[in-house]
Amino acid sequence: MAELNGRIEAIGKRVEGGERLTFDEGVELFERATLLELSALADRVRWRLHPEPVVTYVIGRNINYSNVCWVKCSFCAFYRLPGSAEGYVLSKDQIFQKIQELVELGGTEILMQGGLNPSLKIDYYEDLFTSIKARFPIHLHALSAAEIIYITHISRLSIKEALKRLKASGLDSIPGAGAELLVDEVRDRVSPLKDTPTAWLDLMQTAHELNIPSTATMMYGMGETLAQRVEHLMKIRDLQDRTGGFTAFIPWSYQPNGDELKGQGGTGYGYLRTVAVSRIMLDNVKNIQASWLTMGPKIGQLSLQYGVNDFGSTVLEENVVTTETTRHLMTLDEIRRNIEDAGFAAKRRNTRYQLLE
């Protein structure tokens, strides 16, 4: 373990003792600790939570059922405005076909997300989810908080009522996408038309209370400060204390892809620092997932030394966070090879993080 000195050494001792860090300590670590110090501390927390040398993955597929959206987030190159000739809504048969392909590969999870499409009210989702569940034994990890909040608006329902109906029709869990940075200043700047950070957290709290688990994400690299990243982590940690409903945390950096934000995107060094601080601060979120889709397989593999214990999903398609130019795809064999080459046993899991082998 790298030599920790002064103030960082004191913080490091608290981490080693299993103590929870404050906001100020998180910022101090982020700003002053070396990469190796962060790796050593994140690794401590990782092994405390996962004593076995195992890294998990899930066989899943992303389905972007519609790209129609009016929210115009400045970092997003995926959406098409309502009325655009390039807008689409996949037919049920197209969706079934994609799920069939996944099931034939032994897959267990569908991650289904789209835009905020004004023509799709709750009955569309109820019908779609019911039809999927009638045909396939598949876990439906679907609809970001922003999509669900919008469905409640256009369907004139409370959040609780909408979630109950979606759950009854087959929704199993909610992806944490759309959190970006849960800081008002950042949200107002990059996605002013989206729901607020408070609304995202309230939606997740209600879902967890209804026994609908979710993941949590963080998209950073949009001109925010390191303190704002830690603020985001604190909000996730506080909600997790109340509900215990977050199964995993997944940080990734903003990917420039022809959108309006025109930022520079993250580096491997910045990603490893961010993932390590996330592991250290989120002592109550059991799993940290690699984001190799955006950061690439090599950085994904390295992140296993920075607190990551899960390699996420085999992704057959993904349009919202990446474009052709930034996409990194790996076969199942490559995923397993990357995990095993780093010294871990690669084990398949389901969406609830139960081992399947």
Q: Give contact residues for ligand SF4 (rule: CB under 6 A).
A: 69, 71-73, 76, 78-79, 115-116, 146, 191, 194
Q: Are 295 and 268 in contact (CB under 8 A)?
A: yes
The residue (of 58 and 76) whose beta carbon lies closer to ligand SF4 is 76
The residue (of 72 and 286) whose beta carbon lies closer to ligand SF4 is 72
Coil vs helix vs strand at 11: helix
The residue (of 149 and 330) whose beta carbon lies closer to ligand SF4 is 149
Report the chain's C-alpha Rg in angstroms: 20
Cα dist. 149→1, 63, 134, 198 in Å? Answer: 45, 20, 26, 12
Q: Are 67 and 319 in contact (CB under 8 A)?
A: yes
Q: Are 173 and 213 in contact (CB under 8 A)?
A: yes
Closest CB 148 distance from ligand SF4, rounded Å: 12
C-alpha neighbours within 13 Å on the C-beta side of residue 98:
20
The residue (of 191 and 228) whose beta carbon lies closer to ligand SF4 is 191
The residue (of 174 and 302) whose beta carbon lies closer to ligand SF4 is 174
Closest CB 322 distance from ligand SF4, rounded Å: 12
Closest CB 151 distance from ligand SF4, rounded Å: 13
Amino acid at 212: I
The residue (of 172 and 180) whose beta carbon lies closer to ligand SF4 is 180
The structure tokens 């993250």 sit at 266
Closest CB 150 distance from ligand SF4, rounded Å: 8
Closest CB 87 distance from ligand SF4, rounded Å: 11
Reduced to 3 DSSP states, what percent helix, strand and coil does the chain have, rounded to the nearest 5?
A: 45, 15, 40
Amino acid at 44: R
Closest CB 73 distance from ligand SF4, rounded Å: 3
Closest CB 115 distance from ligand SF4, rounded Å: 4
Closest CB 147 distance from ligand SF4, rounded Å: 8
Q: Following DSSP, what letter does each residue of 20-82 receive, concatenated?
A: PPPHHHHHHHHHHS-HHHHHHHHHHHHHHH--SSEEEEEEEEEEE-B-B-S---TT-SS-B-T
The residue (of 75 and 292) whose beta carbon lies closer to ligand SF4 is 75
Amino acid at 230: V
The residue (of 145 and 207) whose beta carbon lies closer to ligand SF4 is 145
